[in-house]
A and B are shown apart, each in its own frame.
Chain A
Amino acid sequence: MTSPTRTSALTFSAVAPGSGLAAALSQTPSAVLGQIAGSGLRGRGGAGFPTSLKWSLAAEAPAQKKYVVCNADEGEPGTFKDRVILTEFADLVFEGMTIAARVIAARHGIVYLRAEYTYLRPHLETVLARRRQEGLLGHNIAGQQGFDFQIDIHMGSGAYVCGEETSMIESLEGHRGEPRNRPPFPIDTGYLGRPTIVNNVETFAWVVCILARGAEWFKSHGTAKSSGYKLFSVSGDCKLPGVYEFPLGISIAELLGEVGGEGAKAVQVGGASGQCIPAAHFDRPLPFEDVPTGGSVIVFGPQRDMLDVVENFLEFFIDESCGQCTPCREGVPKLMEGVRLLRRGQCSMAYLKELCGLGETLQLASKCGLGQSAPNALLSIVEHFQDEILGRAGAKRSPAHRGKTK
């Protein structure tokens, strides 16, 4: 349990850099994979895909060239743990990538860093240069003959959708960041058509901890289906916003107790694309099988107007939609029109139901996660806060400075 200013209390700071790589080099790649499988580690970006499965599929793919990509395009509203990890524990991230390279036999790694974090780049380049000097990157890493791996940093240019793995690959290849159809999945047709694993910053860091401390240690925390610890980015109406480490499966009420967010009216779990959970459901736990999250928890105090919240999220999605598929490009602005009607108190129940129907269409028919999850916030607010949003007097005007799309 870590308050924002004490990163020293995170597991990451107790793991000595190098210990994970040393453990990985003393075993065969398949044994390393076995350990990760044994730990039950699931992707920390939010989707919760089993890391060992992704890696083993990439390892089995027959190809001369393979790539390891670190997803540092942390754009989900309310998420900032990767920023802290990259600032404080960059070594663990690069070490995790190096371990991944050995497991899948890749020689080239790429960190896709979002443009908003450009100020982190000099620090990351310094760490990379030091690792090269120490023989932890480059040729014959740590004295192992034939184990070559290099890491480059690629900058994003301000597109939320590039956090989606296939969009990220498109962007790395120098294209518009529009998602690809899946399958084929990146594990066999990724960057430049080669097998590629794309993992979140935090996932790589946990791999190092698992190898350093053993799969059993990791497995013994969390829930049966979502083991281990996870970093949570907590912001909004609470006394102590910041990055916290909790075992997966912690209940929302417990989490709010730790961060000083008691008395909250609702929390948004998983950022703008996640779901809004009202106070009545605060006993719900936060593992991947119940409320999946990339770690973003935004606390809403009793004074918050939930329509403001949903309007802010829809504005975000309208701006960030890549415009490739129709449900997302046309559907989200329609949802926004509905929210404006609700705000003016001019939305009939029949129309609200139609809006919810449209939301469900978006969830089904959009091409990538952005469009599929854009209506989530609206749907959960309609479900839980109907009394608050229906039949409004219309006197409440939206604040003068709504962000306008560019």
Chain B
Amino acid sequence: MDLMQDCMRICSWVKVACISGRKVVFMKDYGLSLLVQGESPHVLLTERERLREELVDLAERHGHERTALMAILQEVQRRYSRISEYAMQVIADLLDIHPVEVYSVVSFYSFLGERPQGQFVIRLCRTISCDMAGKSHLARQLENDLGVRFGQTTADGKFSLHWANCLGMCDQGPAMLVNDRIFTHVTPEKIHGILEQCRRTFVGQPLPPEEGRRP
């Protein structure tokens, strides 16, 4: 494929992926992605342009009012595992507010942030009932199994580990959230299985629900 060779000539690292039926070539160092669509002429699209398109879509869906800000930010966080400075600027433009306003909101909430997070964000509850139920052992085991400390992301970008304040599972502690899914009565030996289940889950797919958990 000539195109690929051209790409390889200008950068050290090329990755081809299929995104919503279109072939996309990512080129390292250039922040570019090349859209290869059937036999049509190649469309050169930067990552930024692609992000901008998505944000315009989101603003269309949620509205251009300030009240839409949280919903848009939550969706960006979900899709990209972070809210980049550039995304904040575009959102500010779309909602007609100052970028600093967007930054002030992103920096306030613990589920939003600029730093890239792993595909699976693990939040271990550290509040009193889970603490008394033995969250310290879980914390140690999570660090051992993941090889990272709290607040860090694994080198492969799979997992981020964080503390959480009360997850509302005080009667079934210790509890932890993995993305949107809650795990209760977690024990250190269960951790490995949970992490394995995550590793087997494809990017963009939700974790299957836990069986037989009571409300």
Residues in A lying within 8 Å of B, measured CB to CB: 4-5, 7, 74-80, 82-84, 87-88, 114-119, 154-160, 171-177, 192, 233-237, 241-243, 268, 272, 298, 300, 304, 308-309, 312-313, 315-316, 319-320, 322, 399-401, 403-404, 406
Contacts and interface: CB of A to CB of B under 8 A. Distances in A.
A237 B169 CA distance: 15
Contact of B170 (A154, A158, A171, A298): A298
B98 interface: no
Contact of A235 (B65, B66, B129, B139): B129
Contact of B110 (A84, A157, A171): A157
Nearest to A240: B171
B136 interface: yes
Contacts of B70: 154-155, 157, 171-172, 174
B158 interface: no
B74 A79 contact: no
Contacts of B82: none
B110 A159 contact: yes
B167 A119 contact: no
B197 interface: no
10 contacts: A77-B128, A78-B129, A80-B171, A83-B169, A117-B168, A174-B69, A233-B170, A272-B127, A300-B132, A312-B128
Contact of B112 (A157, A160, A236): A157
Interface stretch (B12-20, B39-47, B175-183): B175-183
A313 B104 CA distance: 26
Instruction: Give the most central of A192, A268, A319, A401: most B CB within 10 Å.
Output: A401
Interface in B170-199: 170-173, 177, 180-182
B109 interface: yes
A4 B172 CA distance: 10
A119 B128 contact: no
Contact of A119 (B65, B67, B69, B182): B182
Interface of B: 65-71, 73-74, 104-105, 108-112, 123, 126-129, 131-132, 135-136, 139-140, 150-151, 162-173, 177, 180-182, 214-215
B66 A174 contact: yes
B59 to A, nearest CB: 12
Nearest to B72: A174
A171 B131 CA distance: 29
Instruction: Give the most central of A118, A160, A298: most B CB within 10 Å.
Output: A118
A223 B185 CA distance: 37
Contacts of B65: 174
Instruction: Give the most central of A175, A237, A309: most B CB within 10 Å.
Output: A175
B109 A236 contact: no
A200 to B, nearest CB: 14
Given A4-B214, A7-B215, 16 more contacts: A75-B165, A77-B127, A83-B169, A158-B112, A158-B164, A174-B65, A174-B66, A176-B104, A234-B171, A235-B171, A235-B173, A236-B128, A243-B171, A309-B128, A322-B108, A401-B136
A4 B108 CA distance: 35
A80 B170 contact: yes
B144 to A, nearest CB: 12
Contacts of B168: 74-75, 79-80, 82-83, 114, 116-117
Contact of A158 (B110, B132, B169, B215): B110
Contact of B129 (A75, A77, A119, A399): A77
Contacts of B68: 174
B105 A77 contact: no
A81 B140 CA distance: 30
A4 B131 CA distance: 20
A67 to B, nearest CB: 11
B165 A236 contact: no
Contact of B131 (A74, A312, A319, A406): A312
A236 B128 CA distance: 8
Instruction: Give the most central of B69, B166, B167: most A CB within 10 Å.
Output: B166
A15 B126 CA distance: 36
A336 to B, nearest CB: 15
Contacts of A309: 128
Nearest 10 pairs between A and B by C-beta? A403-B126, A174-B69, A157-B109, A87-B215, A235-B170, A241-B171, A158-B111, A158-B110, A235-B129, A176-B108
B215 A84 contact: yes
Given A5-B214, A77-B165, A272 B109 contact: no
A78 B169 CA distance: 8
A192 B67 CA distance: 9
Contacts of A308: 131
Given A157-B111, A312-B127, A312-B128, A80 B136 contact: no
A157 B127 CA distance: 18
Contacts of A75: 165-166, 168
A84 B214 CA distance: 9
A320 B165 contact: yes
Nearest to B124: A403
A113 B169 CA distance: 15
B67 A115 contact: no
A238 B132 CA distance: 12
A283 B136 CA distance: 34
Contacts of A268: 128
Nearest to A84: B215
A119 B210 CA distance: 11
Contacts of A241: 129, 170-172
A308 B135 CA distance: 13
